[in-house]
Structure 1
């Protein structure tokens, strides 16, 4: 689903997060930049997608589809967060969506 523009819907971003996690073992996490880079080769575009990917990740975490972590600690993206984060499968993760 590589694209050279930033016209991705939140649903497409959420689907990409789930798809990338589904491609990995259940215990393996991904970086939000993995999602962005899988959508565009253009650095300006994928970097521009990062805030939206974090917003979508926060909604998926609120729905218990994914967990957002720093190290092994689950964090809430609805609160100010500094530093790198990882996305992991959570209780309601469903790779068949």
Structure 2
């Protein structure tokens, strides 16, 4: 995938699918989204981590996912470190 729009669409679709499949009160690691798209080797999924983060922030603003840190929802515009993704209003990490 070389087209940026296609990449964003693929990331969004994959992220929403993985979060939905995991279900309520469960979370997804952002690297799971990147690995689903880029494969198991870090050279494939590593470069996708920033686009995954940007997509997560956008979807959190839209209320379609929640970004969690230490099991608690965070402000999508102000979080650092390790984070997880979940369905909105879920607050328990897996």
TM bin, normalised by shorter chain, reads 0.7 to 0.9
**How many pairs does the alignment contain?**
86
**TM (normalized to structure 1)?**
0.78
Seen in structure 2, the aligned counterparts of structure 1 residues 24 and 78 have a Cα distance that, compared at 3 Å, is same
Kept in 2: contact 1:30–1:87 (CA 8 A): yes
Separation in structure 1 between the aligned mates of residue 76 and residue 64 of structure 2, nearest angstrom: 14
User: Given the two structures, how large is their TM-score scaled by the length of structure 2?
Assistant: 0.80
* Counterpart in the other structure of 2:61: 62
For 1:67 and 1:14, how far apart are their aligned partners in 2? 13
Structure with greater helix percent = 2
Q: For the aligned residues, what is the CA RMSD?
A: 1.7
Gaps of 5+ in 1: 92-97
Unaligned runs of 5+ in 2: 90-94
